């Protein structure tokens, strides 16, 4: 693995080539750098910038810096990284006055409307500060573009996109690891999915689902809200309707037989939430509908769920 240089300043501007009109939203690298700050004169904030808007990922390799967002302040010690937009007026990062050694850091900059939106969502949840291993394999990929005499690099849109997405993926993993309980929360949702998938014909509500998973209804509701953004009763109803769609398309069972098999008390009790979600009746879906994408939208099935 290529190592980041331990001394000296190295910078490579990245020219992304390829991708015609309409692909400007794709994530693309702008620059890769390893550098040092030695004095309190190193202080960055949005008002100073004269370059084009972009995203900054900066990782401390040695020494110490400070990152501020609004009223929050973090000491950026080795293995600490921050993520921000260059023109975010709430952000400042600087070399602290009480520091006793150089602040050495690695940073990459990238742009693209899609990448910016991903970063905003990630920052909103994480605060924009992460624990990030200095020996992470991805850093070696970036380091391969740095070195004596390497002041620029040319990269295809596909390769540029891939590196930015690998970085964002690594930050998502770091965010999940910070919240150690998330792994067990995700496992609980998988268990709920598998249980519902294997219980055709049973009318399972949220309380019954929680009981079978050996958790409280309150805990199950909290996990679903935090991990999926929706309450469990919507998840249950969507799974029942998705299974119903498969039966409508792949069997000759009547609508009444499918309603009974999926645990609905009557055809009308089945048709009401089905049409609310798919905007087609089961019969219309069978004859001309296509398999839907269940995206966890805001359709409310409260009237169709016993709780």
Q: Are residues 169 and 190 in the same domain?
A: no
197, pLDDT greater than 90: no
130 and 188 fall within a common domain: no
Cβ–Cβ < 8 Å for 168, 122: yes
What is the mean predicted confidence (pLDDT) over 263-284? 90
Domain co-membership, 14 together with 144: yes
What pLDDT does residue 97 have? Answer: 93
- The residue out of 126, 153, 178 marking a domain boundary is 178
So what's the pLDDT on residue 307?
47
Determine the average pLDDT of the residues in 68-74: 93
Secondary structure class of 78 (helix, strand, coil) = coil
Region 195-208 average pLDDT:
82
Question: Do 188 and 151 share a structural domain?
Answer: no
Could you tell me the residue range of the domain that residue 282 belongs to? 181-304
Residues 99 and 222 in one domain: no
173, 185: one domain: no
Does 50 or 111 have the greater pLDDT score? 111
Total domains, the chain: 2
Q: If we measure between CA atoms, which residue out of 56, 52, 53, 93 comes closest to residue 72? A: 93
Is 1 a domain residue? no
Q: Is residue 4 part of a domain?
A: no
Structure tokens at 56: 């900054």
For residue 68, pLDDT over 90 is answered with: yes
Cβ atoms 161, 115 nearer than 8 A = no
pLDDT, average across residues 253-264: 91
My answer on whether 187 and 156 are in the same domain is: no
Average pLDDT, the chain: 86
Nearest-angstrom CA–CA distance, 233 and 256: 23
pLDDT of residue 23: 63
Is residue 2 situated within a structural domain?
no
> Same domain, yes or no, for 90 and 103?
yes
The 3-state DSSP class for residue 110 equals strand
pLDDT average, residue stretch 16-34: 80
What CATH number corresponds to the domain at position 18?
2.60.120.10
Give the lowest-confidence range in 72-76, 271-275, 280-284, 289-293: 289-293
**pTM higher than 0.85:** no
Does a structural domain hold residue 150? yes
- Provide the CA 97 distance to its chain's centre, in angstroms: 35
Which of the pair, 150 or 23, is modelled with greater confidence?
150
Note whether 121 and 262 are same-domain residues. no
pLDDT score of 202 more than 80: no
Judge if 205 and 119 occupy the same domain.
no
Q: Give the Cβ contact number of residue 246 at 10 Å.
A: 11
Decide if 200 is inside a domain. yes
Q: What totals of helices (H) and strands (E) does the chain contain, helices first?
A: 10, 11
Whether 246 shows a pLDDT value over 50: the answer reads yes
**Of 168, 166, 160, 165, residue with least CA distance to 31:** 160
pLDDT on residue 148: 64
Instruction: Give yes or no: residues 288 and 204 share one domain.
Output: yes
User: How far is the C-alpha of 53 from the C-alpha of 298, rounded, in Å?
Assistant: 33
Dist CA 246 CA 289 (whole Å): 12
- In a domain, residue 144? The reply is yes
Write the pLDDT tens digit of every residue in 106-164: 999 999 888 889 899 889 878 899 999 999 999 999 988 887 667 888 989 999 999 99
Given pLDDT bands bounded at 50, 70 and 90, which one contains residue 207?
very high
In a domain, 292, yes or no: yes
Q: Give Cα 139 to chain centroid, integer Å.
A: 20
Q: Which of 178, 195, 221 is the C-terminal boundary of a domain?
A: 178
Place 179 in a pLDDT band, splitting at 50, 70 and 90.
Answer: low
- Is residue 237 in some structural domain? yes
Q: How confident is the model at residue 180 (pLDDT cuts 50, 70, 90)?
A: low
> What per-residue confidence (pLDDT) applies to 306?
47
Domain stops at, among 137, 162, 178: 178
């Amino acid at each position: 693995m290529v190592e980041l240089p331990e001394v000296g300043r190295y910078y490579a501007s990245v020219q992304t080539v390829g991708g015609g009109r309409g692909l400007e939203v794709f994530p693309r690298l702008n620059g890769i750098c390893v550098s040092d700050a030695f004095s309190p004169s190193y202080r960055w904030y949005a008002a100073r910038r004269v370059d084009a808007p972009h995203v900054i990922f900066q990782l401390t390799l040695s020494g110490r810096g400070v990152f501020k967002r609004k009223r929050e302040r973090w000491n950026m010690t080795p293995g600490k990284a921050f993520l921000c937009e260059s023109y975010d007026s709430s952000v400042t990062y600087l070399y602290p006055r009480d520091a006793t050694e150089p602040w050495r850091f690695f940073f990459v900059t990238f742009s693209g409307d899609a990448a910016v939106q991903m970063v905003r969502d990630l920052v909103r949840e994480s605060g924009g500060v992460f624990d990030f291993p200095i020996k992470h394999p991805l850093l070696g990929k970036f380091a391969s573009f740095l070195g004596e005499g390497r002041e620029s690099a040319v990269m295809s849109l596909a390769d540029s996109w891939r590196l930015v997405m690998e970085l964002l993926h690594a930050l998502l993993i770091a965010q999940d690891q910070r919240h150690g309980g998330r792994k067990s929360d995700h496992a609980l949702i998988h268990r709920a999915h598998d249980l519902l998938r294997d219980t055709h014909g049973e009318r399972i509500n949220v309380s019954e689902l929680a009981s079978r998973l050996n958790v409280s209804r309150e805990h199950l509701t909290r996990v679903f809200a935090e991990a999926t953004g929706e309450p469990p009763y919507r998840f249950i109803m969507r799974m029942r309707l998705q299974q119903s769609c498969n039966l409508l398309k792949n069997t000759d069972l009547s609508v009444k037989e499918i309603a009974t098999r999926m645990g609905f008390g009557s055809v009308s009790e089945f048709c009401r939430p089905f049409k609310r979600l798919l905007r087609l009746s089961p019969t219309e879906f069978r004859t001309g509908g296509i398999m839907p994408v269940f995206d966890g939208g805001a359709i409310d099935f409260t009237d169709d769920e016993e709780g």
